Amino acid sequence: MVSFSCLPDGCGRRVALVSGGGAGAVISADACEASGMEMPDFSAETAARLHEVLPAVGTSLKNPLDIGNPHPPLQVLRSVLEIVAASDAVDVIVIRRIFFSIKTGKIFSGATAASEGEQEELLQIPVDVMKKFGKPVSIILPDELTGPENIDLEEDRRKIRDFFFSHNIPIYLSEQRAFGALSRLADFKRTRMNGGRSAEHGPIEVSARGRTIFSGIIKETSTAVLDEPRCKRS
């Protein structure tokens, strides 16, 4: 539901993965392949532009892209996302292992963590890039630390999640959830482009009861979003 609420038109299948660490980039590549999504190679032009922004040591300029730092300088992250978004080989951008949370950043990064002012700008960067290039952006935002002693971290994560939701950027807890959802969005877009016909099952029929439920929700709330309480009532 989150995916379709944020990206109602679906998305393409070609992913650019931007990660603040190498291990997660590998995990993401595996999850991407398992879901049926694709991580195409960057063109020579895109790779050259990334080379101008990122150091050669401690990074990987291929797709998935490891920028080598979960708390990159703001302009570096903005430049990287803009370069990737400008690529004709990319349909959707997935961001992972970037410390959007000040509290999480302080735990893992200490004195190099972002200040409050920097965090506000950091949160705005994916939004600006999505609007500028018109390409969907998704973010993997795991619960880094759990337990009652870390409840403030979960509160912070949820605030960040809600901020991105409000700008139509879906948030996922894991790579598997992210790429599984994106794969379904890609299937949905392909089905729409085929005139409502899926490759596996032919034309998709909506039942009369389904139309009635959906119409009632729109009249009641002026929105086409089905949240969990409405689903259960229906």
* CA distances to 23, 77, 120, 178, 222 from 69, in Å: 12, 10, 18, 21, 43
Report the pLDDT value the prediction gives residue 7, as an integer from 0 to 100.
94
Sheet holding 171-172, edge to edge: 65-66, 15-19, 92-96, 137-140, 171-172
- Are 35 and 11 spatial neighbours (Cβ–Cβ below 8 Å)? no
Model pTM above 0.85: no
**Start and end residues for every CATH 3.40.50.261 domain found in the chain:** 2-189
* Spatial separation of the C-alpha atoms in residues 56 and 4, rounded to whole Å: 38
Report the pLDDT value the prediction gives residue 203, as an integer from 0 to 100.
46
Residues of the chain with pLDDT > 70, as a percent, come to 75
| Average pLDDT score over the chain | 84
The answer on pLDDT for 105 being more than 80 is no
Position 78 confidence tier, pLDDT thresholds 50, 70, 90: very high
**Domain covering 2-189 in this structure, CATH number:** 3.40.50.261
Report the pLDDT value the prediction gives residue 63, as an integer from 0 to 100.
97
SS3 92: strand
Cα-based torsion angle of the residue sequence 185, 33, 126, 104 in order, rounded to the nearest 10 degrees = 120
- Residue 75 tokens read as 């302009």
The answer on pLDDT for 106 being more than 80 is no
Q: Which of 87, 158, 167, 157 is CA-nearest to residue 125?
A: 167
Position 119 confidence tier, pLDDT thresholds 50, 70, 90: confident
pLDDT tens track for 8-20: 999 999 999 999 9
pLDDT tens track for 158-210: 899 999 999 999 999 999 999 999 999 999 999 888 765 544 544 444 445 55
The answer on pLDDT for 43 being more than 60 is yes
- Residue 174 tokens read as 């894991």
DSSP state of 14: B
* Spatial separation of the C-alpha atoms in residues 60 and 164, rounded to whole Å: 27
Position 77 confidence tier, pLDDT thresholds 50, 70, 90: very high
